[in-house]
Amino acid sequence: METTRVSGRDFDLAHTFDCGQCFRWNAAPDGSYSGVAGGRAVRLRRDGDDVVIENCSASDFEEFWRGYLDLDRDYGEIKRTVAINDIMKEAVSYGGGIRILRQEFFETLMSYIISQNNSIPNIKRVVERLCAAYGEPVELDGDVRYAFPSPERLASLEEADFRALGAGFRDRYLVGAARLAAEGALDPVRLAEMPTAEARAELMKIKGVGNKVCDCVLLFSLGKFDLFPTDTWIKKVMAESFSAGSVSAAKSEGERIFGRYSGFAQQYLFYWRRENDKANK
């Protein structure tokens, strides 16, 4: 099996894949993580100071994984810049191995529509069922995995099909988004080139996409790092530690303070606050 070796500097597998940004990566008992993206299935394993990507050829790496894993970015500089106070130092120290994955646009859009008023384990279940039912099979270690389905494939589904996967009331949003994407009305290249505010206005026209889902899609798939997605956890931490008492205040404060690094700061805070809550229960 072909493997590719990369630097593990500022790159921790658990931080990156369990920080809540993605829904299709799973830890094995040995600490490795496997997942599917870009129509490719791989396993990642730490080896000393390196990370080894299994089932990854040199061309797979250059064409896809280098960008997906955001390996050309200097996270040291980002962490120094966002560590502006004790809370941020704590959060950065806790999740210092997070990298913001550059996920595929359509998958991210559909996954975050599913995420609304839902729990992370359930989001993962529904997305996995969607892939198993309608995605192309991909092999890893003799196992069959499934790629995220294309817009064209999902555009042929009805509300009842999404409902059957456990999507609940989000079924009509998913139908609408899949059909828009299949029509070519949502061009990720064009959206990525647009200024953040314009891209937001464009995405928010989709039923089922509000402020938070919109910001997550733009941050986690199109590299709009100047956004500070504000969910229930970020609302909590911004109220507790930055005296920003409402969702709108939390978002505008976060973006004012962290600027072009808002998305990184948000993810350190989210991971730190949510994991600490789990630990204290």
Q: Which residues bind DNA (CB under 7 A)?
A: 19-21, 115-123, 125, 163, 166, 168-169, 204, 206-214, 216, 229-234, 246, 248, 266-267, 270, 274
Q: What angle do CA 177, 180, 186 make, to 5 degrees?
A: 100
Nearest to 247 by CA among 228, 231, 262, 271: 231
Of 56 and 219, nearer to DNA (C-beta) is 219
Nearer to DNA, 166 or 259 (CB): 166
221 or 267: CB nearest DNA: 267
CB 5 → DNA: shortest distance, Å? 28
3-state DSSP of 138-205? EEECCEEEECCCCHHHHHCCCHHHHHHCCCHHHHHHHHHHHHHHHCCCCCHHHHHHCCHHHHHHHHCC
Nearest to DNA of 56, 269 (CB atom): 269
Minimum distance between the CB of residue 43 and DNA, rounded to whole angstroms?
22
Q: Dihedral sign, CA of 165, 119, 185, 267?
A: negative
33 has which bridge partners?
Answer: 27, 44
Q: How far is the CB of 69 from DNA (least distance, A)?
A: 16
Rg (the chain; Cα; Å) = 18
CB of 54 to DNA, least distance (A): 26
Least CB distance to DNA at residue 172 (A)? 8
Judged by beta carbon, residue 34 or residue 103, the one nearer DNA is 103
Bridging pattern class, strands 50-54 and 137-140: unpaired
